[in-house]
Amino acid sequence: MGKKKPKQSSNTIAQNKKARHDYHLEQKFEAGVQLQGWEVKSLRMGEIQITDTYVLMKDGEAFLLGAHINPLKTVSTHYVTDPTRTRKLLLNKRELARLLEATQQDGRTCVCTALYWKGHLVKAEICIAKGKQQHDKRQAEKNKDWDKQKQRIMRHPN
């Protein structure tokens, strides 16, 4: 009998919590990510940072910029490992057209909010987003604090 792999509790590789704080997220898309072999190995070990990622539309294609995948120490030396290289996103034509139309509107951008496993494939959750003003961020923080306070009050009825 072979050894069983420990079951992971979640398929999420990385989340971009900064995007949820800085933007109003409007519409979500699921995109495949074109990766090299050493990048997949690094993702399995959790060696990725996506806090400053965004999606660039160029020549009718979508590209993920700003994702930093740290190469593992065991990667062979004959590979050229570029941790911040531009990675192509795999979407169908309708989704690409929607993204292009939305990003050309004033104040809209496209950001990556999460990377996760779907079977053996790596998928990116990308969202059309509109930037928040400073007062919107403060109001969201106040609402979040008030929700925490309500939960504390409900837990302790004294």
**For the whole model, what pTM was predicted?**
0.73
147 C-beta neighbours (distance < 10 Å), count: 9
pLDDT of residue 6: 47
> Range of 37's domain?
12-132
17 located within any domain:
yes
Give the separation between CA 20 and CA 24, rounded to whole angstroms: 7
pLDDT of residue 115: 92
157 located within any domain:
no
pLDDT of residue 123: 93
Give the separation between CA 140 and CA 5, rounded to whole angstroms: 41
Question: Would the pLDDT of 40 be above 70?
Answer: yes
Dig out the tokens for 91 from the structure: 């979407």
82 located within any domain:
yes
pLDDT in tens, 56-70: 988 889 999 988 988
Question: Would the pLDDT of 3 be above 60?
Answer: no
72 located within any domain:
yes
Q: What is the mean pLDDT of residues 85-114?
A: 89
pLDDT of residue 1: 46
100 located within any domain:
yes
Question: Would the pLDDT of 76 be above 70?
Answer: no
127 located within any domain:
yes
73 located within any domain:
yes
Q: What is the mean pLDDT of residues 79-106?
A: 87
Report the helix count and the strand count for the chain, using DSSP H and E. 4, 9
- Domain containing residue 61: CATH number: 2.40.280.10
123 located within any domain:
yes
Query: What domain count does the chain have?
Result: 1
